[in-house]
């Protein structure tokens, strides 16, 4: 008989697998057991205190370096380019507008126009040019307040500086020092004329106005008495009326000297300070008697504002409007009265001839010829004779564009 095969029997048979033993209730085997409790993986226990200190020091140095870099130069160019690129997308829709870009031309211009020096003609041109070229023409309704208190200066400078750029601000106001109140100094321009001619134009304009309307002088000087309105100019000068004597005749220089009280006192101090400001803060001070050349230079220096200004000025329609601003009923004083005015306005004339000399030198540099009438004889009290240059220099060696860049950096 065959014997029954025992379970797990022969050598050729595979033993039946045994179920694994359950771990003990304590969570692992005793000594010699293979079960161990698993621990959470973490990098923190692997770093020593020395490693922590090194990381924190590196982070601190990075933050300080980034701070000093931004204070001294701003972010890298590639970040600016990236932001500019993103600014054309929708990224900044929820992050506010991009920062105001720096314009490649003088974007802040102030024309603190001197009264009765062609300023209304220039303002008419500026209104046309602002629509044509898209700059912001900022004007003022205040026409008779040229001297400001400190608070008024701060307020006006704040209002001008916050205007949308590029802007051109114009008003009858004495020179304002923006940098004194922490603002960016703008580019100044202005125009002056022969002091006696300016005085005569103002004298009759206050009384009789111009061709824009028969009654506009009544609006400007409603309280002027009839005897004052029809006061003979010779009587005013020869009998030393306040309107025809100092300090009322000391008019042009304060527009360039500034807001200091001494700027309103006729003398050398105000004269020299006005000259200094012309050299350091004014891009151009032109002469009304040579207005076309003034417009040509303004177009060269500030094309974003004054491009095509001369063609507009010569347009018959504009000339028709410009003729309306001519003062009416002007008469010429006697030679004796004129000589007295010369004496009283000696500082005004010294400044006028200085500006005229600088203007002619500027014209020479750009090859402009002067086509003007023969000037009147100069007053006898002027001992030095300022150099007048009416013909261009042919062998000018200095590069005009380089010189213009230097002006913008002043």
Task: Show which residues are catalytic.
Answer: 172
Calpha distance 17→306 (Å, rounded) = 102
The answer to whether the peptide bond before residue 318 is cis (omega within 30 degrees of 0) is: no
Which of 191, 163, 192, 193 is closest to 178 using CA atoms? 163
DSSP 327: B
Element (H, E) at 297: helix 291-301
Q: Which residues pair with 138 in a beta bridge?
A: 169
Rounded Cα gap, residues 108 and 103, in angstroms: 10
Q: Tokens in use for 363? A: 């014209």
**Residue 192 DSSP one-character state:** E
Beta carbons within 10 angstroms of residue 51's beta carbon: 10
Dihedral angle, C-alpha 314, 394, 286, 293, nearest 10 ° = 0
Residue 346 CB-density burial (10 A; 0-12 exposed, 13-18 middle, 19+ buried): middle
Q: Which residues of 7-41 are buried (b: 16+ CB within 10 A; e: fewer)?
A: eeeeeeeeeeeeeeeeeeeeeeeeeeeeeeeeeee
Instruction: For residue 217, give the nearest of 233, 237, 201, 232 by alpha carbon.
Output: 201
Query: Rounded to whole angstroms, what are the CA distances from 236 to 195, 245, 251, 265, 355?
Result: 17, 9, 17, 21, 29
For 130-190, give the DSSP string. HHHH--EEE--S--S-----HHHHHHHHHHHHTSPSSEEEE-S-----GGGGTPPP-EEEE
């Amino acid at each position: 008989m065959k014997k029954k095969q025992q379970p797990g029997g022969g050598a050729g048979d595979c033993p039946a697998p045994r179920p694994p033993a359950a771990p003990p209730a304590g969570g692992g085997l005793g000594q010699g057991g293979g079960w161990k409790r698993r621990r959470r993986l973490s990098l923190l226990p692997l770093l020593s205190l020395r490693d922590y200190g090194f990381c924190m020091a590196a982070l601190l140095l990075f933050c300080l370096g980034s701070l000093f870099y931004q204070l001294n130069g701003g972010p890298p160019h590639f970040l600016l380019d990236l932001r500019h690129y993103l600014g054309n997308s929708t990224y900044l829709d929820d992050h506010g507008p991009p920062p105001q870009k720096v314009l490649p031309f003088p974007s802040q211009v102030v024309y603190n126009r001197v009264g009765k020096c062609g300023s209304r003609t220039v303002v008419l041109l500026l209104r046309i040019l602002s629509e044509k070229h898209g700059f912001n023409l900022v004007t003022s309704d205040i026409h008779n307040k040229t001297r400001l208190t400190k608070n008024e200066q701060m307020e006006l400078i704040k209002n001008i500086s916050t205007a949308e750029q590029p802007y051109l601000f114009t008003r009858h106001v004495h020179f304002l020092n923006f940098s004194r109140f922490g603002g960016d100094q703008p580019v100044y321009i202005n125009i002056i004329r022969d002091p006696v001619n300016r005085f005569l134009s103002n004298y009759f304009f206050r009384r009789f106005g111009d061709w824009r309307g028969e009654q506009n002088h009544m609006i400007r000087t409603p309280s002027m008495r009839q005897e004052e309105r029809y006061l003979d100019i010779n009587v005013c000068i020869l009998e030393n009326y306040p309107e025809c004597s100092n300090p009322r005749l000391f008019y042009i220089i304060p527009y360039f000297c500034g807001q200091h009280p001494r700027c309103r006192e006729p003398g050398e101090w105000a004269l020299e300070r006005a000259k200094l400001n012309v050299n350091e803060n004014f891009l151009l001070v032109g002469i009304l008697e040579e207005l076309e050349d003034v417009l040509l230079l303004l177009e060269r220096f500030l094309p974003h504002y004054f491009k095509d200004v001369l063609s507009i000025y010569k347009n018959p329609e504009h000339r028709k409007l410009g003729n309306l601003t001519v003062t009416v009923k002007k008469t010429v004083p006697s030679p004796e009265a004129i000589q007295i005015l010369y004496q009283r306005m000696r500082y005004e004339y010294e400044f006028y001839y200085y500006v005229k000399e600088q203007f002619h030198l500027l014209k020479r540099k750009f090859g402009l010829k002067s086509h003007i009438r023969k000037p009147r004889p100069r007053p006898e009290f002027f001992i030095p004779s300022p150099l007048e240059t009416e013909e261009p220099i042919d062998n000018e060696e200095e590069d005009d564009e380089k010189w213009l860049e230097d002006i913008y950096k002043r």
